[in-house]
Amino acid sequence: AEFQRDPLLDFTGKVALITGAASGFGALLAEALGRRGARLVLGDINEDGLHAVVDKLTAQDIEVQAVTCDVSSETDCAAMVALARENFGGLDIAVNNAGIAPPQVHFEEVDEETFDRQHSVNVKGVFFGMKHQLKLMRGQKHGIILNVSSMAGIGGAPKAAAYAGAKHSVVGLTRTAAVEYARHNVRVNAICPFFTLTPMVAGLTPPPGASVEQLHGLLSAGCPMKRLGEPEEVVNAMVMLCSPALTYVTGQTLAVDGGVSA
Ligand code: NAI
């Protein structure tokens, strides 16, 4: 295909690890990179969902290794990186995408369990992943990491305090690793999507008495484009940030938000 000759979008032979690959952005990104030639290491806590994605990719002759994992476990994160090293000989791209949705409650109603769970998956999951990915990439003297933050990682997010705290941490981890590992030829960026119609957003509960359509209307109202994002729109930006051609871009957070942050 034409895009396979374009160095901006050529992932031929690249090894790409993606967490949260059973659904939403992760599943679509796996297909997008795989179709452009990448060999994949996929992880998710949802075993059945992951198997369905693997079957779909294998049917397209995409090379894939998959592992059921919980990103809040350092052992599991290390195992994913080891899988890439042992089966594919290294790791070119790592996308720390797995995450859980915010419970829609006011700040003062956030209990400790909710706060801890948000940070366990959405922060520790990214931190442990990065820690082991960075170690391998430093040794290789090259690598690309993309972390999935959120609009809630660069601005306030009403009724999502614990999620916003966690997603801001993802930006802090991204910037710190970027400056610390730049000398090792490892680039680290983050993507910050606005509400996008993945299963995560489809699963948000509308306020009492409101329909799902009304909820989407409420969410879209704050967006200059007056609509939510489509998963493919976010995944296209993720592919760009994973591109081996973006050699001077590091430590950045890219908002994919229909102009919300403009
Ligand atoms: P999704 O719910 O469709 O996919 C998330 C995947 O992560 C699921 O397959 C789930 O099983 C997996 N996962 C959850 N906890 C895990 C764990 N402990 N270990 C391993 N895997 C785990 O949601 P979506 O929308 O694709 O979310 C992907 C990322 O995008 C998340 O980090 C989310 O916070 C972020 N995001 C999503 C936005 C949206 O509007 N959909 C907006 C901004 C950020």
Domains, in order of start, for the chain: 2-193+230-251 (3.40.50.720), 197-228 (no CATH)
Which ligand 1 atom is at minimum distance from the Cα of 71?
A: 19
Instruction: Look at 52 and 212; give whichever has higher pLDDT.
Output: 52
Which ligand 1 atom is at minimum distance from the Cα of 26?
A: 26
Residue nearest to atom 33 of ligand 1 (CA): 99
Predicted pLDDT of residue 72: 98
pLDDT digits (tens, 9 = 90+) for 232-244: 999 999 999 999 9
Q: What is the ipTM of this complex?
A: 0.99
Residue nearest to atom 11 of ligand 1 (CA): 46
Q: pLDDT-based confidence at 202, cuts 50/70/90?
A: confident
Which ligand 1 atom is at minimum distance from the Cα of 203?
A: 2
Which of 18, 41, 44, 201 should be mutated for ligand 1, with most atoms under 8 A from CB? 44
pLDDT digits (tens, 9 = 90+) for 18-60: 999 999 999 999 999 999 999 999 999 999 999 999 999 999 9
Catalytic residues: 163
Residue nearest to atom 36 of ligand 1 (CA): 150
Q: pLDDT-based confidence at 2, cuts 50/70/90?
A: low
Mean pLDDT, range 201-219, rounded to an integer: 89
Which ligand 1 atom is at minimum distance from the Cα of 98?
A: 7
Average pLDDT of every residue of the chain: 96
Q: How far apart are CA 149 and CA 166, in angstroms?
A: 9
What are the pocket residues of ligand 1 if the criterion is a CB atom closer than 6 Å to any ligand atom? 19-20, 22-26, 44-46, 49, 69-72, 97-100, 121, 125, 148, 150, 193, 195-196, 198-201
Residue nearest to atom 43 of ligand 1 (CA): 150
Mean pLDDT, range 242-251, rounded to an integer: 97
In 10 A of CB 186, how many CB atoms? 24
Is the pLDDT score of 4 beyond 90?
no
Judged by average pLDDT, the poorest of 138-142, 210-214, 228-232 is: 210-214
* Edge-to-edge order in the sheet of strand 39-44: 64-68, 39-44, 15-19, 93-96, 143-148, 186-193, 253-256
Predicted pLDDT of residue 8: 87
Residue nearest to atom 15 of ligand 1 (CA): 99
Is the pLDDT score of 3 beyond 80?
no
3-state secondary structure the chain: CHHHHCHHHCCCCCEEEEECCCCHHHHHHHHHHHHCCCEEEEEECCHHHHHHHHHHHHCCCCCEEEEECCCCCHHHHHHHHHHHHHHHCCCCEEEECCCCCCCCCCHHHCCHHHHHHHHHHHHHHHHHHHHHHHHHHHHHCCEEEEEECCHHHCCCCCCCHHHHHHHHHHHHHHHHHHHHHHHHCEEEEEEEECCECCHHHHCCCCCCCCCHHHHHHHHHHCCCCCCCECHHHHHHHHHHHHCCCCCCCCCCEEEECCCCCC
